[in-house]
């Protein structure tokens, strides 16, 4: 692993109107955290959940949260080191592939 990466999940308490029947942003946050920890054990990823309607004051995060709202993106929107890797219903395979680009080594499950 080259460095610990930051994954940010931008979402809201309310489920996206276009994402009915999909997990909430908080559920996605918990699910992704568990899935990544299983696939890449002992290789920490800094995973944060950001409320798009009440983001922290960090300018870059606040600006992207505003973009999610203004562009009507399907949330949760998942970024890895600032790059969008998932929107609405994220695909684990895509996220795993992106993590591997940063030197994370997958552990295959049986």
CATH value at residue 24: 3.40.30.30
Structure tokens at 110: 């049986």
> Using CA atoms, how far apart are residues 24 and 11, in angstroms rounded to an integer?
8
Distances from the Cα of 103 to the Cαs of 25, 84, 91, 97, in angstroms? Answer: 27, 18, 19, 10
> Using CA atoms, how far apart are residues 12 and 22, in angstroms rounded to an integer?
13
Q: Establish if 107 belongs to a structural domain.
A: no
pLDDT of residue 16: 65
Q: Establish if 19 belongs to a structural domain.
A: yes
Q: Establish if 106 belongs to a structural domain.
A: no
Is residue 79 within 8 A of residue 66, CB to CB? The reply is no
pLDDT of residue 1: 56
Q: Establish if 66 belongs to a structural domain.
A: yes
Q: Establish if 1 belongs to a structural domain.
A: no
What pTM, to 2 d.p., does this model score?
0.89
Contacts of 44 (CB under 8 A, 6+ apart): 4
Q: Establish if 11 belongs to a structural domain.
A: yes
Q: Establish if 108 belongs to a structural domain.
A: no
Is residue 53 within 8 A of residue 69, CB to CB? The reply is yes
Number of domains in the chain: 1
Tens digit of each residue's pLDDT, the chain (110 residues): 567 899 999 999 877 666 667 788 899 999 999 999 999 999 999 999 999 999 999 999 999 999 999 998 888 999 999 999 999 889 999 999 999 999 999 987 65
Mark residue 33 as left, alpha or beta (left: phi above 0; alpha: psi -120 to 50; beta: remaining).
alpha
The domain containing residue 21 runs over which residues? 6-101
């Amino acid at each position: 692993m080259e460095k610990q990466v930051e994954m940010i999940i931008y979402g809201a308490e309310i489920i996206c109107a276009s994402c009915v029947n999909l997990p909430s942003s908080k559920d996605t946050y918990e699910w992704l955290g568990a899935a990544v920890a299983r696939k890449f054990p002992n290789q920490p990823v800094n995973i944060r959940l950001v409320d798009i309607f009440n983001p922290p004051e960090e300018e870059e995060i606040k600006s992207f949260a505003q973009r999610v709202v203004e562009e009507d993106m399907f949330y949760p929107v998942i970024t890895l080191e600032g790059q969008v890797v998932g929107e609405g219903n994220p695909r684990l395979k895509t996220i795993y592939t992106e993590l591997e680009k940063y030197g994370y080594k997958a552990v295959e499950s049986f």
